[in-house]
Chains A and B, each alone.
Chain A
Amino acid sequence: MFGLDRKDTRLLILVAILTMAAPFLLNPFPEGSAMAQFNAGYPDLMQRFVIFGIFAIGFNILFGLTGYLSFGHAAFLGVGSYAAIWMMKLLTMNVIPAIFMGVIFGGLFAVIVGYISLRRSGIYFSILTLAFAQMSFALAYSVLTPITGGETGLQPKTNDPRILDGTLADGATPKANIFGLEMSSSFELPLGSWLFTFNTGYYLAAFVMLASFYVAIRIFRSPFGMMLRAVKSNQQRMTYTGLNPRPYTLAAFVISGMYAGLAGGLMVAMDTQVGPERMFWTASGEVVLMTILGGVGTLIGPVLGAGAIKYMENIISKINSDILHTWFAFLPDGLEDLVVTLIYPFIGKGWHLTLGIIFMLVVIFLPGGLVEGGQRIAKLFSRKKADDNTSDVAKAPAE
């Protein structure tokens, strides 16, 4: 289907089901129950899952296929975001032009950075991309304040020109929309004590992610993808056969820059605000970590990695000692305090600690990232079913 083989089609359908049913899947606990803290099915976080998923998928096209480790990818996301917010300020609050310009500007900036940085390989390439991103951040934060809004960033204002939109009704604030349908509008479905939220913005982002995922599969399976893998495995041999790897790597770099720009544009579409920290090196580092955590070079890995990190950031950081006490209220007082004291350093303001520990555990015990974890579990099950069938899973390369 769609020009994919059976396995890829299955993967795509699986991802489609997961994204479309996310409001259900991420909200497994009833409202008001103690476990509701772990629900992630609210619009903002679901949007972040898929947007950072797109970002990581794009990053993986460069890193996973060619092995070139860019440490400045957040710059493209930032440039895409700034382009998008300017479209919203100048043209219209409709998100289509904003997202489109995000992709274009992310791609253009990637052409410049890629053209220069790809003259070097290995760590030298990484540092060049890092240098460009850090310069973008520093300038956006300071001297470029007239264009970027500096520290306080940019938001749509009521008095922006917006030449395509009619004048706002008195007292109305500009809201991101797609042909009138607001990004923040939601449809809510209460079922028993569960409440599921279906958000317009999320579904737009989810469709875009599905499309990006599909494109990524096609790139992975195409002759172009083979070329990129050749760059990774042995660039010298490739050169000897008379092929110049530069155009291929540059193409991969620009494509992944456009993915980042797309993610940036979508972020603005969902949440109309841009700040320069989006381009700081930690943001570039984050997408590297997402990809490695999920599984480098696998299709689904980066998405899982992005989800895991964003989940920690948004869910674990919100658990405070009060909530812990409610959870363990059933224990005798002394024991309750002890348990809370033991867990407390890992939650709330300690969420970084948990994140660091998870990074270490995953890389030590699951060298292939979360995807390998999934494969091991799958292997366990298939071994139970039929012993001779296991080789099938084992042989399947981690794509």
Chain B
Amino acid sequence: METFILQTLNGLDKGSAYALIALGLTLIFGTLGVVNFAHGALFMIGAFCAVTLSRILTLSYIVVDESKTDFLGNPLKVDVPYVFDIFGQSTGEAIIDWAVPLAIIFSIPIMIAIGWIMERGLIKHFYKRPHADQILVTFGLAIVLQEIIKYYYGANPIPTPAPEAFSGSFDFGALIGFDANTIIYPYWRIVYFIFAAVIIGAVFAFLQFTTFGMVVRAGMADRETVGMLGINIDRRFTIMFGLAAAVAGLAGVMYTPIVSPNYHMGMDFLVLSFVVVVVGGMGSLPGAVLAGFLLGILESFASMREVLELVPGINQIIIYLVAIVILLTRPRGLMGRKGVMED
């Protein structure tokens, strides 16, 4: 039972990452009809927003400490961050400690700007081009973006820890009436789950309850008619693109304490996020979220020792196996709309 609950928690946690990425992707892919292979790169850039902010916060000047030596026997150079001078040491340390949450604020304008530039500068010209061309251009863009990141940050993962206050784990089992020390769960993962839920809720509310959202939804359903009504749908699509980029970026920012970011993390998630979106069904935002959580939970259960003893190797293929089964039993995925990306 404890294991069951633990794996459900894990599944929800993984699922919230999948759902967030798939949500952004489906805004672009399922609704604007653009096959965006650069979406993983947006997720990665979000993560590197957090890295960059923590680099900025730790911008330092060098003080030579004569009492210690470095590996070559020269006097040790100690880095002193400028924030220490501005805010004093303790506040400075606290600010550096909270770099990841602070990066949320830092990343939103950056991601929206990147999304906006991408759409205006590139994607806009590809709405009417074949999907093949969209794949090539966005894949090229993804490579360029990740190579730029690699050039500045190297290829190794970069540790980006959560604030001290969230670094531990708490006894979830004791909370719901199990023995102590049976269901332990890290604080940050719970934060991530709640964060994802809030973002997903916000996106849905935005599309559901605002006039803007209504127009966009109408535009997804029938772009031409909306255009004929004299509404500038293009502009709104640009904003949607910025929004999708911001969602992907935020997913990346908050993910950094869970998996140390590296330049190819976007590519690692790319294929998976396409699978999630398609399993959810093209053009369906709820479908993408649902599929994200479903695949996250199934993946967690497939990695249990008991399951692996029964079916060796199932953890390697579970996501793809489920995708095949779902696509064969439900022709348009879980909640797909007819006629979207079917030809």
Contacts and interface: CB of A to CB of B under 8 A. Distances in A.
* Chain A to chain B: the 10 pairs with minimum beta-carbon distance, closest first: A359-B140, A356-B143, A143-B313, A131-B320, A138-B316, A353-B147, A360-B140, A122-B342, A356-B144, A123-B341
B64 to A, nearest CB: 30
B140 A134 contact: no
Which of A119, A124, A126, A128 gathers the greatest number of chain B CB atoms within 10 Å? Answer: A124
Nearest to B129: A367
Interface stretch (A10-18, A162-170, A286-294): A286-294
Interface string B296-329: 0000000000000000110011001101100110
Given A69-B132, A143-B316, A356-B142, A119 B324 contact: no
Contacts of A296: 130, 132
A281 B332 CA distance: 23
B327 A134 contact: no
B324 A363 contact: no
A289 B37 CA distance: 12
B316 A123 contact: no
Contacts of B320: 130-132, 134-135, 138
Contact of A127 (B136, B312, B323): B323
Contact of B275 (A119, A127, A289): A127
Given A116-B324, A127-B279, A139-B317, 19 more contacts: A67-B343, A69-B131, A119-B328, A124-B331, A124-B342, A128-B327, A130-B320, A134-B271, A134-B320, A138-B316, A139-B313, A142-B316, A350-B147, A352-B143, A353-B148, A355-B140, A360-B140, A363-B137, A364-B125
A345 interface: yes
A130 to B, nearest CB: 7
B137 A360 contact: yes
A397 B342 CA distance: 26
A357 interface: yes
Contact of A293 (B136, B146, B282): B136
- Point out which of B136, B321, B323 has the most chain A C-beta atoms below 10 A from its C-beta: B136
B317 A135 contact: yes
A122 B341 contact: yes
Given A123-B342, A356-B142, A131 B316 contact: no
A235 interface: yes
Given A116-B324, A124-B333, A135-B317, A292 B132 contact: yes
Main secondary structure of the interface of A (DSSP, over half): helix
Contacts of A293: 136
Interface of B: 35, 122, 125, 129-133, 135-137, 139-144, 146-148, 151, 267, 271, 274-275, 278-279, 282, 312-313, 316-317, 320-321, 323-324, 327-328, 331-333, 341-343
Contacts of A127: 274-275, 278-279, 323, 327
B174 to A, nearest CB: 37
Nearest to B126: A363
Given A127-B275, A139-B313, A120 B147 contact: no
Contact of B136 (A142, A282, A292): A292
A350 B148 CA distance: 9
Q: Is the interface of B mostly helix, strand, loop or mixed?
A: helix
Given A69-B131, A363-B133, A367-B129, A116 B328 contact: yes
A360 B146 CA distance: 14
Contacts of B135: 288-289, 292
B140 A363 contact: yes
Contact of A367 (B133, B140, B282, B328): B133
A28 interface: no
Contact of A364 (B137, B139, B312): B137
Interface in A321-372: 345, 350, 352-353, 355-360, 362-364, 367
A375 B189 CA distance: 56
Given A123-B278, A132-B324, A363 B317 contact: no
B327 A120 contact: yes
A131 B172 CA distance: 36
Contact of A131 (B139, B323, B331): B323
A342 B236 CA distance: 39
B188 to A, nearest CB: 29
Given A127-B274, A143-B312, A235-B343, A362 B136 contact: yes
A121 interface: yes
A285 interface: yes
Interface in A17-45: none
A267 to B, nearest CB: 23
Contacts of A131: 275, 320-321, 323-324
